[in-house]
């Protein structure tokens, strides 16, 4: 577990090929999200490229902070990496329970609400990354 604190950039950079494989595997499949009367449609390939860019930026940010010898708050690293990867894994697992063959609207609505809250939480946790970077830049260099 110490490696999570010492090298968080490895997790982000190693996830990039995984997202590329998932994006290629799904090909032209689309993800459509309906919020009230509005539907948002995105292809899995576009989402994979976006995830790769974001994870690359985060991995590069953590690597540059490590290379520059800047110390960040360990708790914020734990929260950021844990909620990012744990949340993505939990959303993926929960989406497998979505029932399409038997339309139980109440079950699907509750599941959609839980997944939506998890995605919102994952997005909100991403603000911890720039906060931790700024904290590390304003703090004295570690030895």
Show me where the domains of the chain are located: 2-138
pLDDT at site 34: 67
Asked whether residue 54 carries a pLDDT value surpassing 90, the answer given is yes
Neighbours of 100 (CB within 10 A): 6
Residues 111-125: pLDDT tens digits?
A: 778 888 998 999 999
Q: Mean pLDDT over residues 56-68, rounded?
A: 92
Please tell me the distance from the alpha carbon of residue 76 to that of residue 22, in angstroms, as a whole number: 28
For strands 30-35 and 38-43, give the pairing: antiparallel
- The overall average pLDDT reported for the chain is 84
Percent with pLDDT over 70 in the chain: 84
Shortest CA distance to 71 belongs to which of 125, 142, 13?
A: 142
Please tell me the distance from the alpha carbon of residue 44 to that of residue 54, in angstroms, as a whole number: 15
The count of C-alpha atoms lying within 13 angstroms of the C-alpha of 143, restricted to the half-sphere facing its C-beta, is 0
pLDDT at site 47: 86
Residues 75-89: pLDDT tens digits?
A: 999 999 999 999 999
């Amino acid at each position: 577990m110490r490696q999570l604190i010492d090298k968080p950039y490895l997790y982000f950079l190693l996830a990039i090929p995984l997202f590329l494989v998932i994006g290629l595997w799904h090909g032209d499949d689309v993800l459509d999200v309906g919020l009230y009367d509005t539907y948002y449609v995105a292809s899995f390939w576009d989402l994979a490229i976006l995830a790769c860019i974001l994870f690359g930026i985060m991995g590069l940010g953590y690597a540059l902070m490590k290379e520059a010898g800047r110390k960040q708050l360990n708790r914020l690293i734990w929260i950021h990496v844990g909620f990012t990867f744990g949340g993505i894994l939990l959303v993926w697992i929960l989406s497998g329970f979505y029932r399409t063959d038997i339309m139980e609207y109440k079950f699907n609505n509750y599941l959609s609400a839980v997944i939506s809250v998890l995605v919102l939480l994952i997005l909100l946790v991403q603000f911890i990354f720039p906060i931790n970077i700024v904290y590390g830049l304003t703090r004295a260099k570690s030895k």
